[in-house]
Structure 1
Amino acid sequence: MPHDATTTLQSVLVLLGAAVFAVALFRSLRLPPLLAYLLVGMLAGPHALGWIPNSEDTRYLAEFGVVFLMFSIGLEFSLPQLKAMRGVVFGLGSAQVLVTLALVLVAALLFGHSWQAGVAMGGVMALSSTAIVSKMMTERLELQSRHGRLVIGVLLFQDLAVVPLLILLPALSATGDDLAGVIGMVFLKAAVLLFGLLYLGQRLMRPWFHWVARRKSSELFMLNVLLVTLGLAYLTSLAGLSLALGAFLAGMLISETEYRYQVEADIQPFRDVLLGLFFVTVGMLLDLRTVAANLGWVVFVLLGLVLGKGAIVALLSRLFRHDISVSLRTGLFLAQAGEFGFVLLTLANDGGLLPLYVAQIVLAAMLLSMLAAPFLLHHSGAIVSRLCRNDWNYRALELHEIVVKSAGTEGHVIVCGYGRSGQNLSRFLSLEEIPFFALDLDPQRVRAAAAAGENVVYGDASRREVLMAAGIQRARAVVVSYADTASALKVLHQVHELRPDLPVVVRTLDDSDLGKLQQAGAAEVVPEVLEGSLMLASHALMLLGVPLAHVLRRIREVRSQRYGLFRGVFRGEAESGLEEHEQPRLSSVALGDKAAAIGKTLAELELDSLLVEITAIRRRGIRGLEPSPDTKLMAGDVLVLLGTADDLVQAESKLLQG
């Protein structure tokens, strides 16, 4: 094997090994993978350990990472969403980008740099990280909050602002006296090209993809996606513009077709791998010796970036008449640098717009701001509460509305989430005349449901004060109707602290987090995959000629084995004629300090003589099914009993009074 090929393969292996380890570590710490790639580049690059050479081949591959990044952004670009949020996008979003760019430009001129360098640095620092912010907002269920909608609107405009900046920065690196003419010509070419591609592309893209899709070949479909993406990138590069701009346009054109989601799934492996390589090369640019020599400037730029941009966003949000607590949260969420900033910094560096030491200082400050972002966002609520007394007023008003609406409810079910599952559950509860009180984080859904007379309010069920305002002390049960394990665990923790005897039913997508939720105290975990597979099996068996009674018996057997709370409920046809009061039901009994059953074993209690079964015991938040007869009861235990109403009364009396 030639020496060059061996060296290249060695570099690739080092890169892959370091990336796998770093990404696995960062995912376990619940940090964005792009930070792992940046760290790999910093450590393995030519300025640190020197494992990976900063070669032309590596940078060329990384440029394809930028192409696929911009393509995926164009693919996710939604004209309906842009239209729906146009007030925030073109109001607060445009103001934030323009004000940030202008202030950085003024600061650059004051420190003796050229206005071209100031524009480049302003464009770089005006952008925030869509990847970090959207991921954390999704995890924290804040996408539909008031500050969440502002953050998403600003990020949308920042994505749009990348397009003119991609055109402008290469033009600023041109030499000569007629710089204004060069910039004007570049934008004129870009305008003609954009108009031609968008006008003709919209008419050609859909029929072309129809023709390719009718061939029914996944290989051909993938080749076509690559052809369109790289073809438009090449076309813009021929016009003297960047490859990334063409890729963005390709994504925009495909997003208007019905093949958008298929393309997104097909392109993801290429995008993630090449994008990871791009961030590795960005990390390789960082010279730790230069950073150490200019550490004071790095800290200064970092503070200016985080505090300055956060303050700009907060002040502009106040000017647009948003509450101060909402404005401060929006500023904290947008205070960091963004991944597109690295793209622009690379363009500025390649064009010689920034001195080498300045590029190193800005790059180091951007990396540190992104490393600090997850921690800043995680503690944003506490920071705002300390800075702003109005935040408590906002929360008090929210809680007051919940208290007012729940005041007249007794023995109700608290439904966490009012999506499809929550609404269907509420209909069943209404049919059985069981009162319910629903909490949801989607303001539009809450308004629509409240207008229809439903008992629904805006509130985060994972917050202790919200559950108390919803009347958890008077409730009969809690149901988490959305499939979000992290949020469900928070709800379970709060319910266990407030009402350890209260049963909680949790919905999940599958069984992957079953044990975790049961240990947290869930009375039952209902996975969608299991219920879907049972319905699928029942329909298939009946179509194959299996008698209906036999199919129902099989389904009952599976459910009785899987769902602890259904044991005894699906015992067969013998129970079908029982009166309502004779039907077995569940009841939770909490053993206080003076309960008669404390210190006794289940065998000594002889509850089976009362025809009552102990199906589960929750102790210190941990739930155990099918407890053994020699289990000794302790103060604080919560027993889940199964029996008829009359038998349950006698069993509860025996447990508590002896």
Structure 2
Amino acid sequence: MQEDFRLIIDLVTVLGIAAIGGLLAALLKQPTLLGYLIGGMIVGPAGLGWIKEVVQVETLAQFGVAFLLFTLGVSFSLSEIKKVQGISLGGGILQILLTILVTTGISLWVGWVNSPQEGVFLGAILSLSSTAVVLRSLMDSNSTNTPPGQVMLGILVVQDLAVGLMLAVLPALDKPPEELGIALAWALVQIALIAGGAVIAGIWLIPPLLRLLARTESRELFLLGVVALCLGIALLTDRLGLSIEIGAFIAGLMISEVEYADQTLSYVEPLRDIFATLFFAAIGMLIDPVFLWNHWELILGLVALVIIGKFCIITPIVKLFGYSWKTALITGIGLTQIGEFSFVLASEGQSLGLVSRQVYLLILGTTAVTLIVTPFLLKAVPLLMGLPWFQAWFQNDDRVIEMGETELPQQNHLIVCGYGRVGQSIVQLLREQNYPVLVIDQSEEAIQKLRQTDIPYLYGNASSPTVLEKAGVSQALGMAIALSDSMSTRLCLKRGLEFAPELDVIVRANQDKDIELLYQLGAREVVQPEFEASLELAAHLLFSLGLSEPKIQRQVQNIRNRHYQDLRGERSAMLVSRELRQAARDLNSQWQTLADNSPVLGMSLKDIELRQLTGATLLAVMRADGTEIDYPGGETELQAGDRLLITGQPTEIKAAQALFSEPTPFVTPILNGGHGNGDVIANLWLMLPPDSAGINCPLGEVGLPQGVIVQALRRDGIFSMLPNADIILEGGDRLLLRGPVNDLTLAGDILTARSVLLASPQLEAV
């Protein structure tokens, strides 16, 4: 077969198998990169042998590496590093150096390498994490703007930037020890000279050239010019003794600050993706499946060593830079894998003879496995957070890091949790109407904006009970939650309602599956931005077509009242159930079976008021006949044999279990033999105002009417059933009273009065 035709067949084969492998990986919710690697393994010389000459494919794959580094340089942004510049620059560099140092020492001690140079090279490979995998996982969980997400992305930017330096210094590691220092110095001098030339070209030459290309308004000509520029500079650096990869990266940096950077990136990315696919498939062809099978125990051991080692290095570094244990833990877990650019280093290192083929194959196998397990590790983080022995680590998350210089409003104010784009819009509208506003956020960038605009704020975790208490949630008029993290949103809502069960809370849902859960947790209104945009667009369109505005508004409001169900479409019961259980695991949950003598049998959830009474939330009911009710409504009545999925803190779940299993005086309103309203036995929640005369008095000496009993007391989020008569009342206490309606009204007047009305009658013995 002719050589040129053989190359075409090989390219079609590689791209085809890579597409199939990437598709399967995507369907399994794994990084597509893994599909490319496995596809290459299958068709390579060590697999089915469909491609025997890997050299030609590797040559074309070099273009993929060049374009990868070129687009990395173009997309490089100093503004991203500035957001978390301390941990990005200081922590990122420290992490790389420590990983190299530790790896060098361990690899020399164990005998994996034969020289310190090889140990340094191995450490450089292990120090890199996967930007592609981490970014995809953060986007899937909507966590890119959370503190752990910002820290991870900041460190990843520095790691990616270090790839260029590593590739430049790599040839120097191949020198004898006595020449190594001179070689390293010369490599750094070359980098400095080339960087200086790149700065000059980036200021004086590149912008006019790109403007000239853009003026032609020809997409093909612009793309051709950019590709020629990238590869031309890459070849120039290769001639100067540096690698093609560092030249491509420098070319990208030269364009990154030009106004055409985004246009360049959009043109080059499809080309980059095709050639990068070739590169990763070519790497897969070099992996020997038989070798991996014969050494699977060693590879799994290396995977465990890499994950534990990087976690033990990264987590203390993040904590050292002043972040909470929660942020440090999530960052440490998120960056434990080996990155895709490690393949670039490993391939270059093998060609330079820095590692043997056996070590090279071990590196490839270990890297692939770490990429596979990373998404699972990140998904396991919420489960770890729920373990009791982890709670002590997160105590620092509860503190208020900083308060605004403006006096914080403490009564009749509105709290906005999250100061992103949505939060900023809410604050602006509220301030225009002269409402007192308090903002809670833990992003340094957001806090800086609040400082500049002199808006009252708390710098801390909005889901922390300590921070919410400091914000005066129990005295607020309402609260808007616009956090980017779904888990923080749920916890903020739940803990806010623990302080003020009747608080009007409006919540932004980050994902469709969160809507029903947030309503179940007590949100007064749940807003989904994408659905709201659809409603507004449709409303404007219908109005332009002549439909009356009142009719449009009624239709839109009906959709909102049905929780966007018309827009969400039909979802299978299995899918809803799976999402529900995932949310329940994140929130700490437990199943409880109703006994035949349970006092709540036959009662509706609306009458029980489980969340107000205990702080716990009922997410699902499993009937004795197997029927499952997910997110039950207030009209749902409990029956004997029901299994209840309860979520909340351990003390809240325990209180709910006591309510369901112990005979208590908590009953639904009933007629008590008479026909007047005064004979109706009812329940009443009442909060003691700060100026109540009953404060600092024993409960039994307040002077409640004889027919009224106190069924429960909630203080600081803690529930007590049937409190003792000698308990001292405090401002903010919430009391659940039971008795005839007229007596309840009188009891409410007594407890909220500014002076003691009655003091002699004793509380009915309970």
Distance in 2 separating the partners of 1:481 and 1:175: 58
SS of equivalent residue, structure 1 residue 123: helix
**Partner of 1:292 in structure 2?**
293
Q: Deviations over 1:458-492 (max 9, x none)?
A: 5677899999998999988775657x796799689
- Map residues 378-527 of structure 1 onto 2, 5 A cutoff: 378-380=379-381, 382-383=383-384, 388=390, 390-397=392-399, 415=416, 417-429=418-430, 439-446=440-447, 448-449=449-450, 454=455, 456-457=457-458, 481=482, 517=515, 525-527=528-530
Equivalent residues of 1:496, 1:621 under 8 A apart? no
**Partner of 1:258 in structure 2?**
259
Equivalent residues of 2:80, 2:154 under 8 A apart? no
In the TM superposition, residue 368 of structure 1 has moved relative to its aligned partner by 1.5
Deviates more, 1:111-120 or 1:311-320: 311-320
Structure 1 residues 263, 347: closer, same or farther in 2, change over 3 A? same
Equivalent residues of 1:144, 1:443 under 8 A apart? no
Q: Which amino acid aligns with 1:373?
A: T
**Partner of 1:59 in structure 2?**
58
SS of equivalent residue, structure 2 residue 213: helix
Aligned length: 572
Q: Which amino acid aligns with 2:136?
A: K
SS of equivalent residue, structure 1 residue 258: coil
Q: Which amino acid aligns with 2:395?
A: N
**Partner of 1:561 in structure 2?**
555
1:68 maps to 2:62 = no
Distance in 1 separating the partners of 2:389 and 2:4: 58
Gaps of 5+ in 1: 542-549, 568-591, 599-618, 624-631, 637-652
Q: When the two structures are superposed, what TM-score results if normalisation uses the length of structure 2? A: 0.62
Distance in 2 separating the partners of 1:562 and 1:119: 63
Q: Deviations over 1:403-432 (max 9, x none)?
A: xx999667x876553333333334445666
Q: Deviations over 1:487-513 (max 9, x none)?
A: 79968996999999999867689xxx7
**Partner of 1:280 in structure 2?**
281
Equivalent residues of 1:480, 1:488 under 8 A apart? no
In the TM superposition, residue 124 of structure 1 has moved relative to its aligned partner by 0.7
Equivalent residues of 1:503, 1:523 under 8 A apart? no
**Partner of 1:585 in structure 2?**
none
**Partner of 2:207 in structure 1?**
206
Structure 1 residues 317, 387: closer, same or farther in 2, change over 3 A? farther
Equivalent residues of 1:505, 1:525 under 8 A apart? no
SS of equivalent residue, structure 2 residue 399: helix
SS of equivalent residue, structure 1 residue 354: coil
In the TM superposition, residue 94 of structure 1 has moved relative to its aligned partner by 1.9
- Map residues 167-246 of structure 1 onto 2, 5 A cutoff: 167-173=168-174, 183-246=184-247
**Partner of 1:50 in structure 2?**
49
Structure 1 residues 464, 562: closer, same or farther in 2, change over 3 A? farther
Equivalent residues of 1:520, 1:622 under 8 A apart? no
In the TM superposition, residue 373 of structure 1 has moved relative to its aligned partner by 1.6
Distance in 2 separating the partners of 1:480 and 1:208: 48
- Map residues 236-385 of structure 1 onto 2, 5 A cutoff: 236-318=237-319, 320=321, 324-380=325-381, 382-383=383-384
Distance in 2 separating the partners of 1:433 and 1:326: 36
Equivalent residues of 1:439, 1:461 under 8 A apart? yes
SS of equivalent residue, structure 1 residue 240: coil
In the TM superposition, residue 74 of structure 1 has moved relative to its aligned partner by 0.7
**Partner of 1:26 in structure 2?**
25
Distance in 1 separating the partners of 2:497 and 2:319: 38
In the TM superposition, residue 254 of structure 1 has moved relative to its aligned partner by 0.7
Q: Which amino acid aligns with 1:42?
A: M
Distance in 1 separating the partners of 2:505 and 2:259: 41
Structure 1 residues 508, 150: closer, same or farther in 2, change over 3 A? closer
Equivalent residues of 2:490, 2:518 under 8 A apart? no
In the TM superposition, residue 16 of structure 1 has moved relative to its aligned partner by 4.0
Structure 1 residues 355, 466: closer, same or farther in 2, change over 3 A? same
Structure 1 residues 471, 622: closer, same or farther in 2, change over 3 A? farther
Structure 1 residues 450, 176: closer, same or farther in 2, change over 3 A? closer
Equivalent residues of 1:145, 1:443 under 8 A apart? no
Equivalent residues of 2:93, 2:158 under 8 A apart? yes
In the TM superposition, residue 302 of structure 1 has moved relative to its aligned partner by 2.2
Gaps of 5+ in 2: 520-524, 562-600, 608-628, 639-679, 684-766
Higher helix share: 1
In the TM superposition, residue 338 of structure 1 has moved relative to its aligned partner by 1.1
In the TM superposition, residue 337 of structure 1 has moved relative to its aligned partner by 0.9
Distance in 1 separating the partners of 2:37 and 2:264: 27
Distance in 1 separating the partners of 2:160 and 2:30: 22
Equivalent residues of 1:151, 1:330 under 8 A apart? yes
Structure 1 residues 441, 263: closer, same or farther in 2, change over 3 A? farther
SS of equivalent residue, structure 1 residue 379: helix
**Partner of 1:572 in structure 2?**
none
Distance in 1 separating the partners of 2:117 and 2:204: 38
Equivalent residues of 1:324, 1:390 under 8 A apart? no
Distance in 1 separating the partners of 2:308 and 2:260: 42
Equivalent residues of 1:325, 1:390 under 8 A apart? no
In the TM superposition, residue 363 of structure 1 has moved relative to its aligned partner by 1.8
Distance in 2 separating the partners of 1:327 and 1:529: 36
Deviates more, 1:16-25 or 1:238-247: 16-25
- Aligned-pair identity (%): 28
Equivalent residues of 2:417, 2:441 under 8 A apart? yes
Distance in 1 separating the partners of 2:605 and 2:299: 68
In the TM superposition, residue 258 of structure 1 has moved relative to its aligned partner by 0.9
Q: Which amino acid aligns with 2:39?
A: V
Q: Which amino acid aligns with 1:192?
A: L
By relative contact order (CA 8 Å, sep 6+), the higher-ranking structure is: 1
Structure 1 residues 538, 217: closer, same or farther in 2, change over 3 A? farther
Distance in 2 separating the partners of 1:595 and 1:109: 69
In the TM superposition, residue 245 of structure 1 has moved relative to its aligned partner by 0.8
**Partner of 1:643 in structure 2?**
none
Q: Deviations over 1:347-382 (max 9, x none)?
A: 011222111111111221222222222222233355
Structure number, greater radius of gyration: 2
Equivalent residues of 2:409, 2:438 under 8 A apart? no
SS of equivalent residue, structure 1 residue 113: coil
Deviates more, 1:80-89 or 1:157-166: 80-89
Deviates more, 1:239-248 or 1:43-52: 43-52
Deviates more, 1:248-257 or 1:160-169: 160-169
Distance in 2 separating the partners of 1:242 and 1:387: 49
Distance in 1 separating the partners of 2:388 and 2:25: 30
Deviates more, 1:197-206 or 1:38-47: 38-47
Structure 1 residues 558, 38: closer, same or farther in 2, change over 3 A? farther
